[in-house]
Amino acid sequence: MQLKHKNNLINVKNKKISKKIDLIFINILNLTLITMIISIGVLLFTSSRTSALYEGPFLLSKTISNIRLNLQESDKNIYRAVVQTDTINKNIFLKNSDNSANELKADIEILRNISTIDGSLINELTTNIDLTEKLRVELIDLIKNSDTEKEIEEKQNEYGFQMDICDNFIDKLYDSSQESALSFVNSSVFYRNIAISALIILMIFLIIIPRLMGKSLKSTLISGINNVTTIANNIVNGNLDVENNYISTDEMGQMSEALIKSINMIKSYIADITVTLENLSLGNLNISTNSSVEYIGDFIPIHTALNKIIEQLNISFSDMHNSIDFTANSAKEISSITKVLSDGASNQASAIQQLQASFSEISEKVNLNSGNSEQAYCSYIRTKEIIENGNNQVNILLHSILDISISSKQISQIISTIEDIAEQTNLLSLNAAIEAAKAGESGKSFAIVADEIKGLSEQSSNAVNKITKIIESSLKLINNVEILAKDTNITLNDVVKNVDSTSALINEITAASKDQADAISQMTSGIDVISDIIQNNLATAEETAASTETLSEQSQIIRDKISLYKLKF
């Protein structure tokens, strides 16, 4: 049994994770289905017991209660009819009693059909009810037909005694029905407790079994995940010596196996690359990768690159060997050429020193000419300022003469106006004299005034004529001075132009002297640069000669180092 259980566990472990999950869900589904079936059965059983309770003890108790009620109702209507004096009401009560009696018979029939209690007790009750019914009918006849109260009272007492007997049997039947109902309820509670217990047990199984199965699946998954995690952590830490501690054919087992295969493949690659690199570090280039190691996938470019590196190193070292031989030979040729360059640089340095002395002498003379030109330019500036000042004074004089001419013309206009006024005054005095002559004696004083005005008018006219002659003479002089000032201004402008021409020539001479000085300075600087270059060339030639000797020595050292490597060709 234990071996079979162990084999089942192994089979479960080797199942795929999806199958394991499906198995758990199937078991949960089966347990849930069983629980649902039992729950439905319990519900159906409870429903049937409820129906049985209604159709059995409940209906029995109800029927017995109806029998009691109808019997009491019939008895009550009898007594009401006895005490009632009104015939109509009496008949109503008697009819109600008959109705209750009929319902009582129907209830007795129902009781016989549904009763599960002792049948003898029902038979005795039926017999007594029949007897009671007989007495009731007799009592009704007496009530309807007899006026003797004594007979009615005797029959009523007999009927009441029989009613008490019936009530006694009804109480017995009711007690028996209560016992039957209690027994039914107790049995129902018992079956209910059994059903609930079964449901609780199934629910416990429904909780525990999935948890156990889930725990088992979780343990399996965690075991596989932990194994994969351990392998991955070892890979991260650079440790490829790992073991697979999870043996299964599920996805985790397949993943672990794939990781182990990948690690072994990488280990073979690393071993092959390590051997190759160790040979390279020892100077052995006559090697190739291990043909027994098969590089696949993304590792193929690594294998190809490693072989190319070996091949390229062989080619490079072979080329370096040839280049070093060529370098050594070239170094010897450069050494001889450098010596020739050094001698030529020495001769160039001597020639440049002589050329520098000649340029220095020329530069001094050009600087002297430039200084003289600057002094001549300064003299020109002073002369030009004097002429410009004279020209400005002449211009001022010319403007003043023009102003005087304008003022004289204005005075001439004013004098002309005064002359017009004198003529008008003379005419007025003449008119006044004529009017005074007309006035006679009374106009004598006015004639005297007119004569005085005429005399003043003549004096004004004479004065105006004299002033006019003077102004005309002044205007002629002003015109002559204006012509002379204009001629002087033209002459001074010509002098300024000639001086400007002289200044332009002096500026050109000065600029040419400066350009010559700058050109000679630049040539001197160029000669200095050439001298420095020649000196540098001389020093460089000497350094090159020394470097060439060093290069030749280093070439020999490299040749010795390369000879340590074993090449394929």
SS (H, E, C) 79-140: HHHHHCCCHHHHHHHHHHHHHHHHHHHHHHHHHHHHCCCCHHHHHHHHHHHHHHHHHHHHHH
Q: How many other CB atoms are found less than 10 A from the CB of residue 376?
A: 16
Spell out where 244-290 has E strands. none
Which of helix, strand or coil describes residue 525? helix
What angle do helix axes 59-83 and 119-145 make, rounded to 10 degrees? 20
DSSP state of 243: -
Which of helix, strand or coil describes residue 117? coil
| Token pair in block for residue 492 | 């001074």
Compute CA distances 253 → 145, 224, 234, 491, whole Å.
110, 7, 18, 125
Spatial distance between the Cα atoms of 18 and 37, rounded to a whole number of angstroms? 28
Spatial distance between the Cα atoms of 330 and 544, rounded to a whole number of angstroms? 13
Looking at the structure, do residues 221 and 370 belong to the same domain, yes or no?
Answer: no
For residue 414, which amino acid is it?
I
Domain count, the chain: 2
Q: In this structure, is residue 266 part of a structural domain?
A: no
Give the residue carrying structure tokens 């062989």: 314
| Token pair in block for residue 396 | 């001022």
The residue from 194, 215, 233 where one domain ends is: 233
- The values of phi and psi at residue 2, to 5°, are -65, -40
Q: Please tell me the chain's helix, strand, coil percentages from 3-state DSSP, rounded to the nearest 5.
A: 90, 0, 10
Q: In this structure, is residue 221 part of a structural domain?
A: yes
Spatial distance between the Cα atoms of 7 and 10, rounded to a whole number of angstroms? 5
Q: In this structure, is residue 523 part of a structural domain?
A: yes
Q: In this structure, is residue 170 part of a structural domain?
A: yes
Q: What is the reported pLDDT for 6?
A: 42
- The domain that holds 376 is classified in CATH as 1.10.287.950
The residue from 175, 201, 233 where one domain ends is: 233
SS (H, E, C) 534-546: HHHHHHHHHHHHH
User: Mean pLDDT for each consecutive 10-residue tract of the chain (569 residues)?
Assistant: 43 62 76 80 75 71 83 85 81 87 84 72 82 85 75 82 85 78 78 81 80 73 75 79 72 75 80 80 75 79 80 75 68 65 63 64 64 65 70 67 68 70 69 68 60 65 68 67 68 66 68 68 69 69 69 70 64
On whether the CB atoms of residues 537 and 345 are closer than 8 A, the answer is: yes
Spatial distance between the Cα atoms of 231 and 241, rounded to a whole number of angstroms? 9
Looking at the structure, do residues 368 and 225 belong to the same domain, yes or no?
Answer: no
Q: What is the reported pLDDT for 260?
A: 79
For residue 548, which amino acid is it?
T
Q: In this structure, is residue 343 part of a structural domain?
A: no
> pTM of the prediction?
0.34
| Cα torsion 256, 257, 261, 262: sign | negative
| Token pair in block for residue 13 | 């472990």
- The domain that holds 203 is classified in CATH as 1.20.120.1730
Q: In this structure, is residue 4 part of a structural domain?
A: no
Spatial neighbors of 271 by CB under 8 A, at least 6 apart, are 293
Q: What is the reported pLDDT for 368?
A: 66
The residue from 213, 233, 253 where one domain ends is: 233
Q: In this structure, is residue 412 part of a structural domain?
A: yes
Q: In this structure, is residue 286 part of a structural domain?
A: no
What range does the domain containing 371 cover? 360-557
